[in-house]
Chains A and B, each alone.
Chain A
């Protein structure tokens, strides 16, 4: 009789500080089947969002600690489209700048964690050190390093003054050579290449069939980036999705590195488009009706649905986060792989579990 061993991964695992649990059936070192268990950090935020639509902004922000800005932006967008608020162009641009800065620090985080997952601590430390530049910049621009509190229904709460614009430019100039270093390591380093090439390959057809989103889908060559639909300020920015081909762990990291450059270019372009003007429009009345909104979060497509019934309190707000769509990608990638590769594959998909469980 064949012996089947079940080996657990998570919910507490040194590689991934997020509570996801995999039950892996193994034969020797090879994983034959896997069951994904989530649900350790459910906080009932969707229920909590049945509250005053303005106060909700701060709860929506708490869904995720890394991509908090994109949650508030999407929430604002969905409420604005219900209430028919016209957001001033300057506010849209400021939002786009904050979102791209957020993408920078989120991608730097995961590129570092990929290094950590394969025991490349030096690389991990380097990316996280450089990420501090972006975090501190966000702290000065918005008032806080993590939960920015920059958005409100109708616009943004803080303007970009000339000093702050100078700070962004300075930080970008400081960051670019550091990202060149990181890119050089990711593209050419022997360890990273040897470890990542051909591991956890996600075929293009599978990515489409499973509904994978974000850089994970783009690394498999799926042209799917919500920013190309031109929401908010992105209609004025020159933007082309970055696509990979191989769809393996190394390619996913490379796509993220290329997106770092893209984000820096977008920030510079957005800064050049800034014109003086209003930064917030005043919403009138209470939300009545329903709407959906989508944004490209650092991890992929973020989706909000909201319904108001003409009261201050929302009737329903539904959130679908990128990792929710990416989790079905874990079992097919992990099957047939070595146990030692599992943490690396899971991390390379950039899962954010607290987002997913809301």
Chain B
């Protein structure tokens, strides 16, 4: 096809591009997207933590909570493969861009969620936590156990019911 014909054809055809972010990009089928887990099934075997190539998972058996450092996760899917209880899935959604280095905590009893912001260090606001793994570790020494958990919890991923309640409220 001559280039002129080609140009004319393209002039009158639909654009090949997507107007992102106005139009969302549909995720591909079988795509390895964002980490999520069904915490109630976890048996704290630490396999996913050991095999994760970037060290994005931290399992705490005593506190019964799993932390995932979303900015570290490379969506490789190794954790999904090794988990004996199939609790982890990579949802078919793109991890959205974010301003913070988000730590998501999966916890079976998310009660401390309402604790006061004043108890946190100055740079931590509820729902807006700019924190790195090293910072978090460093903070752990100076904070009480309770405060440390609060620092992590603003990033707690609300489960579906939780967010529904919020919308209704």
Chain A positions within 8 Å of B, measured between CB atoms, are 52, 54-55, 57-59, 122-123, 126, 129, 132, 136, 139-140, 143-145, 147, 149, 157, 181, 184-185, 189
Contacts and interface: CB of A to CB of B under 8 A. Distances in A.
B76 interface: yes
Interface of B: 1, 3, 6-7, 16, 28-32, 51, 53-54, 74-78, 81
B28 A139 contact: yes
Contacts of B53: 52, 54-55, 57-59
A181 B16 contact: no
B16 A129 contact: yes
Main secondary structure of the interface of A (DSSP, over half): helix
A172 B6 CA distance: 21
A58 B32 contact: no
A149 B76 contact: yes
Contact of B1 (A139, A140, A181): A181
Contacts of B7: 122
Given A59-B53, A185-B3, A149 B77 contact: yes
Contacts of B28: 136, 139-140, 145
Contacts of A139: 28, 31
A343 to B, nearest CB: 22
Query: B interface, by DSSP: helix, strand, loop or mixed?
Result: loop
Contacts of B16: 129, 132
Contacts of A145: 28
A185 B6 CA distance: 11
A144 B3 CA distance: 33
A122 B81 CA distance: 44
A136 B3 CA distance: 26
B54 A143 contact: no
A15 B31 CA distance: 32
Contacts of A122: 3, 6-7
Contacts of B30: 140, 143
A189 B77 contact: no
A149 B32 contact: yes
Contact of B32 (A129, A143, A184, A185): A143
A196 to B, nearest CB: 16
A305 B75 CA distance: 27
A179 to B, nearest CB: 12
A115 to B, nearest CB: 11
A58 B74 contact: yes
Contacts of A189: 3
Given A149-B76, A157-B81, A143 B31 contact: yes
A144 B75 contact: yes
B19 to A, nearest CB: 15
A213 B99 CA distance: 43
- What 5 A-B pairs come out closest when comparing CB atoms? A55-B53, A143-B32, A139-B28, A58-B53, A129-B16
Contacts of B76: 58, 149
Contacts of B6: 122, 126, 181
Contacts of A55: 51, 53
A185 B16 CA distance: 20
A143 B77 contact: yes
A83 to B, nearest CB: 18
Contacts of A157: 77, 81
B31 to A, nearest CB: 6
Nearest to B4: A122
A4 B52 CA distance: 56
